[in-house]
Every structure is written in structure tokens, then in C-alpha cells.
Structure 1
């Protein structure tokens, strides 16, 4: 999809919505035996002259491939080539279940399976299917549709758009085919169904958000009609949380294609995009979620009552890993188990949970878009990926110089974006979202099995808000951030997130986000000579917790925080003892940490802390800094030779 920008969020790599969390994690839903895998029989049944048999086979494949260890058995039996023709089957029901099976296969199989699908030319029947759906969408406006009972063409289109989304996110050839085959018009037509089919529209919006990111080839195909359709969605007045998600995703797409708008119209579009994100962040999920749970309880009738751990319901709604659109129970096996399938008996009460998921996905998306707004579009900038905490943990010797310098690289914010963010009070709203989820929302989610996954989504919004705050702090001046008092208040708030509980949080993703934000804030505070807010004990506690974290950037952030604070203290009288504590901690990290990037950051911090000042000089003598550095020098050089002999020379 192109070059990833500084602290820029990419959309979720695979659309796993509607799948059980354990399908994504690779855990079995049931005991699995290689010999009992029904791949051969199910694939053979695809050739049956009976449409019912073919439909059942596709639905069963949908279920079985959620057990990720079964996927190789299907691929070895040429499942993609054999499922492909089913996309154009004479039976609409077979088309829907076959597309759902391929969607699940792409989501649970990951990039390797998506590559295999494209290699086996799945894009040809998928393109044909999408075009057929497109031609049939307008002709299906029947009285049945007006009664919200849905129509089969739109259900097939929804599955097809989700499969397209997965493939284009994963495979550059699929994206190229998307561009050349003119599929943009098809997806936009699906988007325009938002007044009566928001599920299809949201799927289309996710897909558009993906394919328009870093895709200059596609920008040539975006005309005034498409821009008008996107703007219409953004200006729609539907109040459901699904429509809130739809508008957030469309705002992201408009941001991606902003260069296609006439210059005179760009300021208006930018303001509309930021206003949309601002309204989304205004919604208090901590208040809405208990309200939705109460509404659901009023709708529920046995056997769907709190405390009943129905396994089918669990599979339908427990989606801890998914970051896509609202889950939707289906009969084609996307989200149900092979036994006890009662998805067609589910009451409408599931709408409350879908609304909660939609809101939190919308807020997460909004925060990610704001982060991207704060990114420089200059490809010469040092850049690093913040899409997941695991990426930073992979920084190795080959990334030493880039790894250290990019963590400190300034971001870029245009005057127009800066003004829009300030006018809509985005910094204040982002800071509000960094708070821990309301206890009452957590409590009601704990009370019901299907709602427990909402807790992780609440936590994810907080984490994204912290990363967003980091970007804002890195791009705005003191006045824009509210002045000295606002910065001190923010520093106290971030400190309370880390130290406000009996034990420091040990969640790596949270630690990465909160330490990045705290680091940026302390850098700003230090540059303005504003008094620090962290006690020496808190600093050392943070350092000790970070040292146990596997994510490199967490340890680097903790070291930088020590260095920033120590450098400030070195110029204050009576700080010798604290500087000694910081210096000893930094020496230990420089010596003991296993990662060369962290070692280098610790040395840089030591040089900053002990650069000048009487207090620093006294502390250096007390901890015997110079002899320690002399001892460390050959060890550090040897480590560089061993782990990084091909490293570029840092300038």
C-alpha cells in the first residue's frame, strides 16, 4: 500500500469481524484431528448438482476454516480454485456462502492465504461477481427491502466487498487489479446504500478507506461524482452508531483523496472532516454502553439471558481481535459453530451490542485519522510504524540509527490542519479519551459473556488516544496546547494513568502509548522550563517496569524520560541525590539491556544528564560515572561489532 508514515496508523490488516477471537489467534474451537478434517468431502460436495448441497458445503467450509490449523488441508486440496467458480454459481445462496467461505479463509489464513488467492486468480470471478451485484442493486428496491428484511443481492455484495477489502489490504497485485478493473465505482455504489443498508455501506467504507491510502494510481479515477457521494455520506444525519462509524470511515477516505478536491473547496472539506471526527469523539462510550445494556436487557427473552454462556452466542460476538465493521450474525457460517447453530433464531436485541462495537470502532478510527493528519507527507522524514506494539519489538541492529533518531523525529502539521484541530477542540477531546474506561461500563460488560469483548475495545480506544496525544504534543506549540497550566494538568493526568494504581500496568500496548505521550509532554515541558511533575520514586518505578517489557520502544521511552528529567534536575540546587539515582539507573540499562538501541539511548541520556551543572558534577563523582563509562566503552564497541557490523554510521 505504499510507504508507512511517521506514527501513522494502518487499517487492520485483515477483516476478522464476525469471526471468533480464537479463530484469529490460531486456537481450535473444537478438538482437531488432521485425519478428521472434512476438507476433501466438503470440496467434493461443491460439484454436487444440488444447490442445497453446494450451499451447505460452502457454509461448512466457512465454519471449519475458522480453526486456522485446518486451512492448510483446504489449500493442499486446491480450495481456492474450486471455490472460485462458486462465486458465479446459478444459486444466489451458494454465491453468498461461497464468498463468505473465501472471506473467512482470507481473514483466518492471513497474508499467505491472500497471496495464494490472488495467485489462483480469485480476483477474476470476484470482479465479475461485484459487477453483477452492482447491476442488481438498484433493481432490488422491493417492498421486502423497504421492510428491512434485506435482499440477497445486497447480502452477496456485502460478502464480496469484505473479501475484496481483505485482499486489497494484503496483496499489492489485488490492489493493482482493483485500480485497473474500475472497481471503485462498484464499491462507491455499495456505499450509497447507507440510507437503508448501513451494514453494506460500512463494509464499502472500510474498503474505500483501505484502497485510497497511499494509492496515487487510484486518485486519477476519483471524479466529482465520487467526491460528491463521499461528501453526501459525511453530511448525512442518521444518528445510529453504525452511521457514526460510516461517517468516520468516510472522513478517512476524504482525507486520503483530499488532493482531488479543487483548491477552493479543500478548506471546507478539511473542516467538515475534522468536525465529523470531533462529533464522534464527543460521544461518551462510558455512558452509552450501560444504556445500551439496559435496553438489551429489556429486549432479551430466554434463553438469551445474562449468565447463560451459550457457545453459539459466544462465537457470534466474542471478537477480541477484530477491528473492522459491526458484527452481523449470518446463516452461512461466518460466525457460528458447526453445532447448536441458532443464528437464524437470534432476536433483534443483538443490535445494542453492534451499536457499541460500531461506536468504539468509529472512535478508534477517528483517533487514527487524527494521528495521520499529524504526520509529515515528506518521504524523506525518518519514519516508524506504530500500528501495533509488536512492530517496535522487532527493531534490531539493522535499525539502530533509524530506530533511535526516528523516535525523536518531529512531525509536521500544516497551518490549515492545525487551525481545524484547534477550532474543533481536538487536543482537549483526545486528552479526555486517554482516561481509563468508566467503571460502570466495565462492570456491565463483565456481567454478560457476549459483552466482555467490549472491554478490550474500550482499552484500545484509550491506547489510540494516547498515541494521538503523543502526535499532537509533537506538532503543536505551547499556546495551542492551552498554555503552561494545561501542560502541567496533562502531565499530572498522564502520571496518574501510570502511577494511579497499586501496580504499574504491564500491558505492552498501553505502556508503549502512555510512555510515548509522557515522553513528548516532558520534552515540551523541559523546553519551556516548566517544573517537572514526576517524583524520583515514580521515575525509577517506571524504569524498572519498562525494563521487563519486550517492546523496544517502551524501554527507549522510559530511558528518554529519565534523561529528560535528569537533565532538568541537573540545573536545580539540592538535586544531587536524585541525579545519582537516575544516573545509576541509566548506567545499569546501558550495561545490561539486551538491545543495542536501548543501550545507545541510555548513553545519550547519560551525556544529557551529566553535561553540565554543579549538582550533576557532584552526582557523577559519587556514582563514579567516568570509570564506569570507561569500563563500558569496550563492551559497547564489542556489542556493536557483534550485532551491527553492517550498521550505517549515524550522523
Structure 2
């Protein structure tokens, strides 16, 4: 088939700090009793919501916020009408109660999943939430002194909880999104975004929420105005160097809200957030706009996490050595270990923004798991999240719209971060064509050295940074994030190889260097790495590289024996895409060898590996790819004919044909998509024709 998947990512869903979150145990004695009493009736806590004392109401909300992070407790709260009882407290006369009540609903939405979010919307949680957001925005300016960078408006803490709750609900419920549109909440989110100069966490929450509510939301896009442009201008022209601001600008670079804003442009040129303007920007402005966008992403990728993370870690260690209270580090480490467990556990709702409530009687502050004083860890996390997001945006920019690229692929099983702007919406593809980048996109990527910077990010994470994070439980959460940047870079490399010509990528010498680099990544270890996400990304990149280099007579950096060993390792992988990639790699290699002299024995080895998969593989998609690769390898050439004879390929395929046909008839329609069935039917026809071809070859001997 010769096609490879051009991976896309949807918007990354994280909390305000870009963190995946989990429950944190409180250190206060009273709160320990609540946490230890998870099995106690939800009604006892819900009753306290009506207490005349604001402190007691706040305590009850904070307790509920923590308890619902244990998923098994959620049904009990829902059965006792928790949503309707917490909803009015979002408008309580006490700001502290508002914050904790909204935080409790935020955690309920995050931990309960899509069905709970839908149920919350049906119970009219959007009415008090909308009112709260509007009151928060009105309260932003009640005390001008609080707008100073050194001071904090407590209303903004409430707003942060409300924005995160809104984000969760709109991500899961089309009804919530409809309310968002009808209530005109875009201006509220923009006001929160504008707080980036002194409240970066609120601005980040608003940016993430904005990503969610603008996804495939034509009604909202039609109502955008100059206010959106002004808010984004303020963000994107910010000169702040903190990593949180780098993340914010990167998020802005991926926003899809600007597809109609070009009508309001005047003399602005420094916009990094203008991707997805393809159909509406005047042709003369496209190159300038895309260049500004890519410049933002390029700057983010230039940052060296291998250097910065050790520096931040050292600053964190020095700070803890002089400032930590007795026992404080143990608490922070416990929090980090629970975060790591959440990362390992994955789960359907991983990465949904949650809140961890503060005790009303202690100064301990676990703000979305990172306690006060962990600014260095926040910085490191923001850096890695920004780089991952930048790479995902570039992946989408280099994504072919050719449907056949995805013909074998099942729906992507997204992790926390495999979500980014689906910027190639229907009818909005004027800058991209299948397997070809426009001149504007091509120029912007090359002009900012994006291929070179992406290749650098495909390297394994810095050993020094990894060792430091491994030794410090609090920083251990960054290990997976460093690896994920590498995986996204490999996917980005794959898409660039699929959509850019060899000359643009530096010619034969540069491509050979890429091949050598990929060979080192895969084969330098004592055994082929088994991490599925890595295997999917690196095999996709290898497949695309071989497709572009096969006709170029570039000296091989992968031996057939290495590729066969890779294929054998891949066939043990649960991910269909990894197995398909490995088989396609064998097919490309075999078809190249078939044109050379003295390769019959190697072709036979490759053919045997493909035939074994085609005969024994239960998944029809993988079986079909193996057959398709066989067709490519043995389509022509004396060496291929000799190998086919020694392999007894004709008899093997004749025996396989009725089995393959029966499996398609028996399993196909109920198990595979219509697109996959179409490809399988084509392969079934090609198998019959290929058998006929082999019979003709035999007769000529």
C-alpha cells in the first residue's frame, strides 16, 4: 500500500499547571478523619453544606472535594443530589465557600468522567456556574490595587476553579457547550486570559478552556470579534521569560479561535497563534502569519530541557535546604508519589483538571498537587508541556489530508497529551494538499530550522536530568514527560518526512544522518525497546524515511537482519499500528533489495517473516498489511523470483487464500470499519491476481 499514518493530536487537556493530578492526603487531623472515613455516608457531609457557619460550609465542601477523588464514592454523592446541593454554594456570600464549592464540583466532574459531566449539566449546574463567572469578572476590578502584580485578588482564585469546571463540562457535554455559546461566556474566558500579567495560572486555565470550547464550534467562531484579537495580542506579545508564560504563548499558538479574525487585522505581524487561518487569511498575508506562528514554536523548541531541568532542580534543592519545615519534604514526596501512580495508571479521565482543597486550619497548600514553594518544579513542568504542545501543533501542520493515510488506523487511544488542535477542519485545507506542504508552510518550517530542531528533540532525554528526577520523588513525575516530548518529536519527524521532499530536508547526506540516528535509537540497546508509545513513533518515522530514501540509493543504515528483528519485536506489541509499521518497513526493504543482485537469500528471509504473519496473525488489518508487503517484495525481479521459488510462495498463498477470504466474510463487517473493509476487499482481489502472476512466472520457467 505504501501509505503511512500522518498522526494528528487533539488539544492537550491538563490542569492550569499542565499536570496530571491525583488525590493528596491532608496533614491536618480533622481532615484526616474525613479522608479516612471514605465509607461514611455522603449525606453527613452534604448536610453540613446547610450549616449557618461559613467555616463549616467551607469545611464540608473541601472534604467533599477530596472524598470524590475516590471514584467509588461518587455514586453515593450523586444519589443524594450533591450537584443541586453544591450548586447554590457557588454563589455563597463567602468567597471561601464559593471557591471550595466550585472546587468540589470541579473534582466531581474530573473524577466522574463524561457521564457524570452530562448528568451535572442536566441538573442545571451551568446556571449558577454562569452567574459565578460573570460575578467573578465583575469582581476583578472592584479593587484596583489588587491588579498589581505583587497582590492577588481572591476573586481570581474562585474564577480559576470556575474556569476549570467549565472546561471539564464543555469537554464532555455538547449541552454545556451550547450553554457556553448562548450565554456568551467567551468574553468571560477572555477576561481571565487577560490576567496573565499577574495571575498566570488563571490565564493558563482560560487558555486550555478556550482550546476546548473552540473545537469544531462554528457558532462560536462566527461570533468572534476584536476582543479576541486584543486578548491574544496581549498574550502573544508578552516578553515574560518564565516557563509558564512560554507555555501560555505556545497554547495560544495552537488556538483555533482565530479562523475568522483575519478580517480584523491591521498592522500586526507578531502573532504566534494564527494557525488555522488557512481559508480566511488573504494570500499575501499567509506566509507572514505562518512565519510568526512557527517562530513562536521554534523559540519554545530551542529551550534545552537537559540543561534547564538540572538548573531548576538545583535551585529547588537549595530552597528546600534553607526553607523547609520539619516533615514538609516528606509530605511533598508523598504527593509526588501519588502523582506518579496516577501517571502510571492512566485511565479514561487522566489529565482532567482537578482541584485539591486546602485545609482550613493549616498553611499546607497543595495547589493542583504542587505545594507552595515548588515554583522550580512548576517551571520544569511548564517547559516540557510547552515543548510537547509545540511538537503536536507542528505534527498537525504537517498532516496530510489524504484519507488513505489512515486507512489501516483504528481510532487513536489518546493519553493525556495526545490532543491538540484539529486544525484541518472540513473545507479549510487551502494550505495543505495530500503528501505536499504549501509553499507558505514549507518556507516557514525551513526558515526557522524546524526539521533540525525536531530531530534534536527525538534524542533520548538527558541522562543527567533523568538521574536527578529519578533520585528525587517529587521530581519523578517529569520522567514520563521528558519521554513524551521525545515520542512527539518522532511523530513530528514522521509527518515531516511524509510531507516534505528530500531536498527540503537537506538531501541525501541529511537523510542518511537521520537514518543513522534512528538506527541508534532503536538498535543501540541490548534489546529493542518495548515501550509501545516509543515503538509506534519510531517505527512510523522509520517507515516514512525508508519511503523517501528507497529510490535514492542512499547507503543503508538498517541491515535486513535488524529490520527482521524489529519486526519480530513489533509482532509481540499489542498496538496494531506498531505491527503494521514494522511490516511496511519489511515490505519497503524487500522491494528495494529485489532490484539488486545477490539478494535472493535475504529476500527469502523477509518473505518468510511476512508469510508467517499473514498466515498466523488473527487481526485482519495486520494480516492484510503483511500480504500487501509480500506483493511489493515479490512483484518483480530475478532475485525475487528465485526467493519466491525457494520459499514455495505460490503454494503458501494458495493455501492462505480461502482462509483469508473466509475470515473477511466471517469477521469483517462486525469488527472492522467500512474503510478498513474496503482495503481488505482490495487486498483479497490483489491476492487472487498475485497468485495468477506467480502461476504465470512458474509456467515461464
When normalised by structure 2's length, the TM-score is 0.82
Alignment map for 1:185-264 (pairs within 5 Å): 185-253=187-255, 256-262=257-263, 263=282
Residue 476 of structure 1 corresponds to 500
Quickly say closer, same or farther: Cα 1:472–1:358, change in 2 above 3 A: same
Q: 2:308 aligns with which of 288, 294, 309?
A: 288
Query: Deviation of residue 75 (structure 1)?
Result: 1.8
Query: Deviation of residue 268 (structure 1)?
Result: 3.3
Residues 1:131 and 2:134 are matched in the alignment: yes
SS in 1 for 2:198: coil
Residue 79 of structure 1 corresponds to 82
Residue 451 of structure 1 corresponds to 475
Q: 2:71 aligns with which of 68, 73, 87?
A: 68
Residue 661 of structure 2 corresponds to 637
Residues 1:279 and 2:299 are matched in the alignment: yes
Query: Deviation of residue 369 (structure 1)?
Result: 1.0
Residues 1:11 and 2:11 are matched in the alignment: yes
Q: 1:572 aligns with which of 574, 596, 606?
A: 596
Residue 493 of structure 1 corresponds to 517
- Shifted more, 315-324 versus 258-267: the winner is 315-324
Query: Deviation of residue 529 (structure 1)?
Result: 4.1
Residue 142 of structure 1 corresponds to 145
SS in 1 for 2:195: coil
Residue 42 of structure 1 corresponds to 45
Query: Deviation of residue 492 (structure 1)?
Result: 1.3
Residue 270 of structure 1 corresponds to 290
Residue 577 of structure 2 corresponds to 553
- Shifted more, 529-538 versus 228-237: the winner is 529-538
Quickly say closer, same or farther: Cα 1:386–1:205, change in 2 above 3 A: farther
Residues 1:352 and 2:373 are matched in the alignment: no
Residues 1:92 and 2:88 are matched in the alignment: no
SS in 1 for 2:141: helix
Residues 1:184 and 2:206 are matched in the alignment: no
- Shifted more, 128-137 versus 412-421: the winner is 412-421
Quickly say closer, same or farther: Cα 1:413–1:386, change in 2 above 3 A: farther
Question: Deviation digits for residues 373-404 of structure 1, max 9, x if unmatched?
Answer: 1235688985767754689xxxxxxxxxxxxx
Question: Deviation digits for residues 402-458 of structure 1, max 9, x if unmatched?
Answer: xxxxxxx94453321221111111111111111100000001101111100000000
Give aligned pairs, total.
620
Unaligned 5+ segments in structure 1 are 392-408
Quickly say closer, same or farther: Cα 1:339–1:141, change in 2 above 3 A: closer
Unaligned 5+ segments in structure 2 are 25-31, 264-281, 417-432, 683-701
Matches of 2:529 and 2:413, distance apart in 1? 18
Query: Deviation of residue 348 (structure 1)?
Result: 5.0
Residue 165 of structure 1 corresponds to 167
Q: Is the 8 A contact 1:293 1:352 kept in 2?
A: yes
Q: 1:608 aligns with which of 607, 614, 632?
A: 632
Q: Is the 8 A contact 1:525 1:532 kept in 2?
A: no
Question: Deviation digits for residues 460-512 of structure 1, max 9, x if unmatched?
Answer: 11111111111111111111111111111111111211111112111111111
Question: Deviation digits for residues 497-550 of structure 1, max 9, x if unmatched?
Answer: 111111211111111111111111111111434343211221121111111111
Matches of 2:636 and 2:371, distance apart in 1? 70
Residue 427 of structure 1 corresponds to 451
Query: Deviation of residue 157 (structure 1)?
Result: 0.6
Q: 1:464 aligns with which of 477, 488, 497?
A: 488
Quickly say closer, same or farther: Cα 1:151–1:261, change in 2 above 3 A: same
Query: Deviation of residue 212 (structure 1)?
Result: 2.0
Question: Deviation digits for residues 223-255 of structure 1, max 9, x if unmatched?
Answer: 1231122122111100000000000001111x5
Q: Is the 8 A contact 1:23 1:68 kept in 2?
A: no
Question: Deviation digits for residues 166-192 of structure 1, max 9, x if unmatched?
Answer: 111222222222122111111011111
- Shifted more, 128-137 versus 267-276: the winner is 267-276
Query: Deviation of residue 605 (structure 1)?
Result: 0.2
SS in 2 for 1:192: helix
Residue 373 of structure 1 corresponds to 397
Residues 1:331 and 2:333 are matched in the alignment: no
Query: Deviation of residue 270 (structure 1)?
Result: 2.1
Q: Is the 8 A contact 1:81 1:122 kept in 2?
A: yes
Query: Deviation of residue 7 (structure 1)?
Result: 2.3
- Shifted more, 133-142 versus 195-204: the winner is 133-142
- Shifted more, 321-330 versus 107-116: the winner is 321-330
CA RMSD in angstroms, aligned pairs only: 3.2
**Bigger radius of gyration:** 2
Quickly say closer, same or farther: Cα 1:389–1:546, change in 2 above 3 A: farther
Query: Deviation of residue 34 (structure 1)?
Result: 9.8
Alignment map for 1:496-645 (pairs within 5 Å): 496-645=520-669
When normalised by structure 1's length, the TM-score is 0.88
Quickly say closer, same or farther: Cα 1:128–1:327, change in 2 above 3 A: closer
Quickly say closer, same or farther: Cα 1:378–1:85, change in 2 above 3 A: farther
Matches of 1:272 and 1:610, distance apart in 2? 48
Matches of 1:34 and 1:493, distance apart in 2? 54
Alignment map for 1:296-335 (pairs within 5 Å): 296-300=316-320, 301-303=323-325, 308=330, 310=332, 313-314=335-336, 318=340, 320=343, 331=358
Question: Deviation digits for residues 139-185 of structure 1, max 9, x if unmatched?
Answer: 24325x53634221100111111111111122222222212211111
Matches of 2:603 and 2:10, distance apart in 1? 40
Matches of 2:619 and 2:123, distance apart in 1? 42
Residue 123 of structure 2 corresponds to 120
Q: Is the 8 A contact 2:104 2:355 kept in 1?
A: no
Matches of 1:348 and 1:424, distance apart in 2? 38
Quickly say closer, same or farther: Cα 1:385–1:353, change in 2 above 3 A: farther
Query: Deviation of residue 342 (structure 1)?
Result: 6.0
